Amino acid sequence: MSGLQRLLASVGAALPWLDAEAAPWFWLRDLSRSIASARDGAAVGDWIVDGEALIHRSAVLEAGAIVKGPVWIGPGCRVAAHAYLRGGVVLCAGATIGPGCEIKTSIVGPGSRLAHFNFVGDSVLGADVNLEAGAILANHWNERADKRIRLHVDGETLLPGVDKLGALLGDGVRIGANAVLSPGTVLAAGAVVPRLGLVEQDRQ
């Protein structure tokens, strides 16, 4: 098992229909197909199927939440008013998405929480991750001519071959209010980013 697979083991365990041996960026690339597979195998009565959305009956979606499939919202999740889920989103059991958050092509691990006015793009969050208000997980190098994402893990540089990839966060990570995680950020379990912090692991 690679370092990234160990980092995100809680997500692989929570979503057995993902390929646990695949790299996280392949999870994101294949989310539409994976969600469709999960939808086909969902237990009748426990889930609501609404177009490309699969929503557990115990989940709560407040009025004004926008959900654009494909999306998988697990047991006990809560999606607050004016949250916006798009481009393939998976919320593992017990995840909470606060008001005004935008999540694009991402997996939010079990029990993880986004406070409000967060952007999470092309990212995978482990279990019990907490984002305070206004924290941003950026997914694209707008200011660079070279848009390629590079990940720095265990002393190695990985090239996933994508132009968009946000953060890969281990279990229990804490991100302070108005912090920004630059594209390709990898944080080990229990890492803490202070309020107004900037994480930029790939410097040019």
Q: What is the DSSP string of 5-72?
A: HHHTHHHHHH-TTS-TTS-HHHHHHTHHHHHHHHHHTPPTTTEEEETTEEEETT-EE-TT-EE-SSEE
Q: How confident is the model at residue 121 (pLDDT cuts 50, 70, 90)?
A: very high
Q: Decide: residue 123, CB within 10 A, 0-12 exposed, 13-18 middle, 19+ buried.
A: buried
Contact 81, 66 (CB under 8 A): no
**Residue 204 within a domain:** no
Phi, psi of 55 (to 5 degrees): -125, 125
Using a pLDDT cut of 90, give the percent of the chain over it. Answer: 84
Active site residue 116: yes
**Residue 108 within a domain:** yes
CA distance 3 to 26: 15
Number of domains in the chain: 1
Give the pLDDT of residue 38: 85
Give the pLDDT of residue 1: 47
CATH of the domain at 67: 2.160.10.10
Residue among 191, 139, 128, 190 nearest 167 (CA) = 139
| 82-119 residue pLDDT tens | 999 999 999 999 999 999 999 999 999 999 999 999 99
**Residue 160 within a domain:** yes
**Residue 193 within a domain:** yes
Residue of 82, 116, 140, 152 with catalytic role: 116
Highest mean pLDDT range out of 42-46, 49-53, 77-81?
Answer: 77-81
Give the pLDDT of residue 51: 85
**Residue 125 within a domain:** yes
**Residue 78 within a domain:** yes
**Residue 104 within a domain:** yes
**Residue 58 within a domain:** yes
Q: What is the residue range of 76's domain?
A: 3-199
Query: 74 vs 55, 78, 81, CA distance in Å?
Result: 6, 9, 18
pTM score above 0.85? yes
